[in-house]
Structure 1
Amino acid sequence: MGRDEGEGVGAAKRTLIVTNDFPPRAGGIQAFVHGLARSRPPGSVVVYAPRWKGCEEFDARQPYEVVRHPSSLMLPTRGVARRAAGLVEDGGTVVFGAAAPLGLLAPVMRRAGAARVVMLTHGHEASWAGLPVARGLLRRIGRDADVVTYLGEYTRRRIAPVIPGTRLVRLAPGVDTAVFHPGAGGDGVRRSLGLGDRPVVVCVSRLVPRKGQDMLLRAWPLVLRRVPSAALLLVGGGPSRQGLERAVARGGLSGSVVVTGSVPWEALPSYYDAGDVFAMPCRSRVGGLDVEGLGIVYLEASATGLPVVAGSSGGAPDAVRHGETGLVVDGTSHTAVAEALAGLLSDPVRARAMGERGRAWIEEEWRWDRVATRFAGLLDMTSRDEGPAAGPV
């Protein structure tokens, strides 16, 4: 159902989702926003998002309309405002996939006929709240919203001084447990990469410093001392890829580390399933301005039945039950990371038990049907004065 900007819009009233973060570009926010769109009845939403490699094929498979911006980035410019306003239907709802910066377009959306504006926040809005100029912009963005969502307690604390509490509602990502599950195709990935039956630590994430792939490589020689047959599988693309590959070569780790680069969106569950342990030792950077908002990858890994090793950055601990579904470690300490990984690889019974508890936790508290119900409630409220629906997801 995808199309490029400029074609006509159907007559049925639909929710408009305006977002920079959308598949086929990989990422946690992208998965979250896509999941929200998919949770709505077919044809009841239209998504306005940037172009990305492979978007035509992806869009054609969706049960809703996707309008692509001509470029790969949307900023709150007049051109973007004009295109987004042209997609607003009188009396409809506009959802911003991330409040900053596109939420600055909210006044234009209201003038175009939007009766309700919902904005999602993630880790970067929490960072904006700590900067004087950005804090003022975030306050302005929140003033023009009916509802501003937050992921967990960490992000709520950061943005609450800026955005009125009456507008804040928790809306965390969900996981499709029919897609992410044990036995999702990992054996095939192992065969294709020559991993056989080796103990595998897998990291699925964008390759950027905050995610901690560099710390995994620093920790890896220590892991190999205790588990010599172990393999590390780094899945994803990003600006750090070349540096990570050079570090693998310098450290003589090419026999035990595989860097796959980007993989197709639909293949991600099989790459999780190829692992025995999931690890993304994220760390806060730039004085706390570059921080993890939650980490949907931890939830997807748990749904796949893997024990999780997470860094302690920002809201990441909200996605792990320390000691039950995985371990939260200091992402700035390669020795702490190595100890956690080697401990789990050396004790597969403990690791499997954590993975089973993680799967049960996801099924109990993080299913998409719960998120979908919550999201529907936020869209169906008709007045700014009603306040947010009660109770967290």
Structure 2
Amino acid sequence: MDKTLIVTNDFPPRPGGIQAFLHNIALRLDPQQVVVYASTWKRGREGAEATARFDAEQPFRVVRDRTTMLLPTPRVTRRATELLRAHGCTAVWFGAAAPLGLMAPALRAAGARRLVATTHGHEAAWAQLPASRGLLRRIGQSTDTLTYLGEYTRSRIAAAIGPEAAARMVQLTPGVDEKSFHPDSGGAEVRARLGLADRPVVVCVSRLVPRKGQDTLIQAMPRILAEVPDAVLLIVGGGPYAKELHRLAETTGVADSVRFTGAVPWEELPAHYGAGDVFAMPCRTRRGGLDVEGLGIVYLEASATGLPVVAGDSGGAPDAVLEGETGWVVPGGSAEQAAERIVALLQDPELRRRMGERGRAWVEQRWRWDLLAERLEGLLHSS
């Protein structure tokens, strides 16, 4: 079988959704046929030790560049072509099309027969700006396939890269580890530890940044508490917006009904999803469309855990919800509409059960990692 070189900045132990996306698919490829060329997570002894431990545990070869951010410079391009030749790789997967896909012509000249570049939310932003739009067009024209998350990102990227390259776009989404995220993931233990055993819990699992909408949930809490007085909002995750969110909970007068866990290790995330009765993340688009949700894998992880979801309408987030079946989509930033849907779910156990079961079944049918890895294999090794 042909070997694949994965070129990426987005790889663990660097945390994040794109990192988990790439790692989960890489783990499902033949480890003897994969080489990863990645940036260094962070400099310093602690970062180096964490990276070394992680790399040693992988079933495939991981080569780290000395820089914390790979860019398509002559040096990085030369290193990538050296790895391609040294390991006999004939396929390349760019973990993020922009900007690494600009190395595609050099790698093709070095012997790559198939070049696949994956797009996320930021490529849709590139498509809106004149300078980066031209670079994105070059990437589309020099690779064999650009993958996309959903119709929102596809339509914007397709308009930038031209009809010939757009015709070669193929959907490739993140998936869900349905064996880790499931209804019996340990939520009862988390609830007990946090003193929430008998309270209705709205859980939000995400990085704490303005786009995700944790502030909207806090602003919705007075309305929710008016109908469900013992409800609690459980905010799981860390990030730069943490101080503002704590302050907002105080000024809104709901601090006693909002719990912040801070960052949680990945292996504990399924149990934290399971601690909720409803999952909500009313994400919104910001900065004139430059800060947008690419898909929202958290909604699918919640569905796999058996929770109904309330999502925002930013970007591709609605693609992760079957409207009225696995949950609802509300306008991002609307505390009133988020509260209305959350209250409806908290007050109706049968509705929660039905939506949770439908969400779990949908994940098993459509969003499993093994199905997505097979799709990528086909793209990398098709003639």
Q: Same fold (TM over 0.5)?
A: yes
Q: How big is the alpha-carbon RMSD for the aligned residues of Structure 1 and Structure 2?
A: 1.8
Is contact 2:31-2:60 (8 Å) kept? yes
Residue 317 of structure 2 corresponds to residue 316 of structure 1: yes
Do the aligned residues in 2 keep the contact of 1:24 with 1:265 (CA within 8 Å)? no
Task: Specify which of 16, 40, 59 is matched with residue 5 of structure 2.
Answer: 16
Q: Which residue of 1 aligns with 2:73?
A: 77
Instruction: Please name the residue that 2:44 is paired with.
Output: none
Residues 204 and 58 of structure 1: is their aligned pair in 2 closer, same or farther, counting only changes over 3 Å? farther
Q: Distance in 2 between matches of 1:91 and 1:20?
A: 19
Q: Tell me if structure 2 keeps the 8 A contact 1:91–1:115.
A: no
2:328 match: secondary structure = strand
Partners of 2:119 and 2:8 in 1: CA distance: 12
* Range that drifts further, 349-358 or 192-201: 192-201
Does the Cα contact within 8 Å between 1:27 and 1:205 map onto a contact in 2?
no
2:32 to 43, 47, 53: 43
SS in 2 for 1:101: helix
Query: In the TM superposition, what is the alpha-carbon distance from 1:94 to its structure 2 partner?
Result: 1.1
Whether the aligned pair in 2 keeps the contact of 1:233 and 1:260 (CA below 8 Å) is yes
Tell me the distance in 1 between the aligned counterparts of 2:156 and 2:66.
34
Q: CA deviation at 1:66?
A: 2.2
Tell whether the 8 Å contact from 2:2 to 2:91 is kept in structure 1 after alignment.
no
Whether 2:34 is the aligned partner of 1:33: answer no
Across the two proteins, how many residue pairs are aligned to each other? 371
Relative to structure 1, is the Cα distance of residues 201 and 58 closer, same or farther in structure 2, using a 3 angstrom cutoff? farther
Contact persistence 1:26–1:265 (CA under 8 A): no
Structure 1 unaligned runs (5+)? 1-11, 383-393
Q: 2:178 & 2:171 partners in 1: Cα distance?
A: 21
Residue of structure 2 in register with 1:67 after alignment? 63
Q: 1:225 to 1:172 in 2, by over 3 A?
A: same
- Any idea what SS the aligned residue of 2:325 has? coil
Q: Deviations over 1:222-260 (max 9, x none)?
A: 111111211111112222122112222333433221222
Paired letter, 1:281:
P
C-alpha separation in 2, matches of 1:173 and 1:274: 23
Matched residues in 2 for 1:126 and 1:205: separation? 21
Contiguous gaps of at least 5 residues in structure 2: 42-46
Q: 3-state SS of the aligned residue for 1:260?
A: strand
Contact (CA 8 Å) 1:50, 1:68: kept in 2 or not? yes
Equivalent residue letter for 2:68: S
Once the two structures are superposed, residues 198-235 of structure 1 have per-residue CA deviations (whole angstroms, 9 ceiling, x without a partner) of 21111111111111111111111211111121111111
Question: What is the Cα deviation at residue 59 of structure 1?
Answer: 2.8
Q: 1:138 aligns with which of 125, 136, 139?
A: 136
* Residue 272 of structure 2 corresponds to residue 271 of structure 1: yes
Q: Indicate how the Cα distance of structure 1 residues 114 and 178 shifts in structure 2: closer, same or farther if over 3 A, else same.
A: same
Cα distance in 2 for residues equivalent to 1:266 and 1:80: 33
CA separation of 1:116 and 1:232: change in aligned 2, threshold 3 A: same
Q: Which amino acid aligns with 1:101?
A: P
Give the letter aligned to residue 131 of structure 1: L
Amino acid aligned to 1:45: V
Q: Distance in 2 between matches of 1:68 and 1:222?
A: 50
The aligned residue for residue 51 of structure 2 is 55
Residue in 1 that maps onto 2:365: 364
Cα distance per residue 1:80-122 (max 9 Å; x no partner): 3233333213452111111011111222322333222100011
Aligned to 1:109: 107
8 Å contact from structure 2 (residues 191, 197) kept in 1:
yes
One-letter amino acid of the counterpart of residue 25, structure 2: L
Q: In structure 2, what is the Cα distance between the partners aligned to 1:85 and 1:23?
A: 23
Q: State how 1:286-301 maps to structure 2 within 5 Å.
A: 286-301=287-302
Q: 1:253 to 1:68 in 2, by over 3 A?
A: farther
Partner of residue 354, structure 2: 353
Cα drift, residue 71 of structure 1: 4.1
**Amino acid aligned to 2:268:** A
* Bigger helix share: 2
CA distance in 1, matches of 2:129, 2:198: 48
Give per-residue Cα distances to partners, 1:152-209, cap 9 Å, x unaligned.
2222211112232332111122212111111112122223322223211111111111
- The secondary structure found in structure 2 opposite 1:76 is coil
- Structure 2 contact 5–89 (Cα < 8 Å) conserved: no
Residue 4 of structure 1 corresponds to which residue in structure 2? none
- Structure 2 residue corresponding to 1:95, chosen from 77, 93, 96: 93
Distance 1:117 1:147 in 2: 7
Instruction: Give the residue type in structure 2 aligned to 1:26.
Output: P
Q: Identity over aligned residues, as a percent?
A: 62
Question: How far apart, CA to CA, are the structure 2 residues paired with 1:356 and 1:299?
Answer: 12
